[in-house]
Amino acid sequence: MSVPFGVRRGWVCGLILFFFGLGAGQARALGPHSSPLGLEQAVDHLCREVLLGHDPDPDRIAPLIAHVRSQGDAGGGLPRYDDAPGAYQGFAINMSMQPLLRYLYNSEIPQELIKPFSIRSSVWTTPKSAEAQRQLWADPWPPARTVVVRGGQYDRTTADLSTGGCYAMRLKRVLVFLPEAKALLSVSVQPEPSEVGTKGYRVGRDEDSRYIYSDEKGLTKTGLGWVSSRIQTNVSIGVYLDEGEMVQSGVFQWMRAGWSGLSVIKESHIKASLVRYRERIGAVLNAADLPAPEELEALFRALDAKSDVQLRREVEPILAGYLAQAEQEKNRAASRILEKGYAQRLDRGELIGLLMRERLFAP
């Protein structure tokens, strides 16, 4: 069965957004068939050696850092890696490095707050991972020595904008802070295909990031309800460079996804999705009214002290608003899910994340 290009492009763009939770010289967009000297070797070092326990070698990582410094906000294609197409995108974040790392690698700030447009939930499954990540941003800062944090992560995506597909997968992660370069590298490798996609629904505007999730396998796009789609390959490296009052960032991403052994992702899809990611993450992290990390942590602790019964009771008015919106939009599938005790289906992490997001970022 053939799938229209517009459907494939929309599906791919939504999927790729999920994975990035995130100078001098002439800036050049990286071409689709060329690679800066040492770039592939640097990716191999991080994804095949450091991820498995080897010590990071700053000299071997240097080409990645140099590329991010030289590119600014430019983007472009990358040579294939692990038999997957890839792309790069640079962007700036208007805050200093320490608070940024506190937003991104903090068990008391759910990542669905920072990336509500792509992440349903994200949990490090390795014991003591919270304490390990705290080394990245705790005082005194910056760390005097190289910090390496390894672990596993279980992530779930929001409903794709085009097809309504939601995906869950296990990732291998390593975070590397290099004090001399004042650089943080975030490496994510998906070692096996994701779980089969399930149907999800958005209510309201895309900017509101309000989603309803079912347990039914398939996609909501007309003609694709039968599809058993999976994310087959995902390799991403986020680079964050301390530039004083701002952080220069860059994302290297390679991906394959589809069904029946077919990957529908092209380099152009990844490039377009990274541009959208730059815009959406920038809207959150560069917002003038973004609460301080300490404020988010305090709210998390207050909610975490409550029972599941209390949390579900507080979520009900929020879900009532979702239902009203779904009915207004004549979204019958979402309405049916919401009418059947939807709050009882949400786990504790989802309840806390939903309450935090609605209290702090609701329109």
Strands 210-217 and 198-203: antiparallel
Do 273 and 308 reside in the same domain of the chain? no
Domain boundary among 263, 287, 311: 287
Asked whether residue 66 is domain-assigned, the answer is no
The dihedral through the CA atoms of 17, 103, 96, 127 has a sign that is negative
Write down the pLDDT at residue 35.
63
Do 141 and 240 reside in the same domain of the chain? yes
Of how many residues is the chain composed?
363
Distance CA 56, CA 184 (A): 12
Give me the percent of the chain exceeding a pLDDT of 90.
74
Torsion of CA 106, 110, 111, 116, to 10 degrees: -160
Asked whether residue 37 is domain-assigned, the answer is no
Q: pLDDT band for 65, please (50, 70, 90 cuts).
A: very high
Asked whether residue 239 is domain-assigned, the answer is yes
Cis geometry, peptide bond prior to residue 140 (ω within 30 degrees of 0)? yes
Asked whether residue 59 is domain-assigned, the answer is no
Do 237 and 326 reside in the same domain of the chain? no
Do 275 and 262 reside in the same domain of the chain? yes
Asked whether residue 9 is domain-assigned, the answer is yes
Distance CA 151, CA 96 (A): 26
Write down the pLDDT at residue 264.
79
Write down the pLDDT at residue 363.
60
For residue 7, pLDDT over 60 is answered with no
Do 170 and 310 reside in the same domain of the chain? no
Asked whether residue 34 is domain-assigned, the answer is no
- Computed over every residue of the chain, the mean pLDDT equals 88
For residue 287, pLDDT over 50 is answered with yes
Do 216 and 137 reside in the same domain of the chain? yes
Sheet holding 165-166, edge to edge: 165-166, 198-203, 210-217
Do 107 and 252 reside in the same domain of the chain? yes
Do 230 and 312 reside in the same domain of the chain? no
Write down the pLDDT at residue 24.
29
Q: Which amino acid is at 330?
A: K
Helix, strand, or coil (residue 179): coil
Residue-number span of the structural domain to which 352 is assigned: 291-363
Asked whether residue 54 is domain-assigned, the answer is no
∠131-309-334 over CA atoms, to 5°? 95
pLDDT tens digit sequence for 156-213: 999 987 788 999 999 999 999 999 999 999 999 999 999 999 999 999 988 888 999 9
CATH number of domain containing 199: 3.30.530.20
Asked whether residue 256 is domain-assigned, the answer is yes
Do 326 and 268 reside in the same domain of the chain? no
pLDDT tens digit sequence for 206-229: 888 899 999 999 988 888 888 899
> In terms of pLDDT, which residue wins out, 319 or 277?
319
Let me know: does 360 contact 128? Beta carbons within 8 Å: no
Helix, strand, or coil (residue 260): coil
Domain total of the chain: 2
Domain boundary among 239, 264, 287: 287
H-helix or E-strand spanning residue 189: strand 183-189
Residue carrying structure tokens 């005097």:
144
Do 295 and 324 reside in the same domain of the chain? yes
State the average pLDDT over residues 268-286. Answer: 90
What are 302's two structure tokens?
């207050």
Distance CA 57, CA 256 (A): 29
Write down the pLDDT at residue 18.
42
Domain boundary among 287, 317, 345: 287
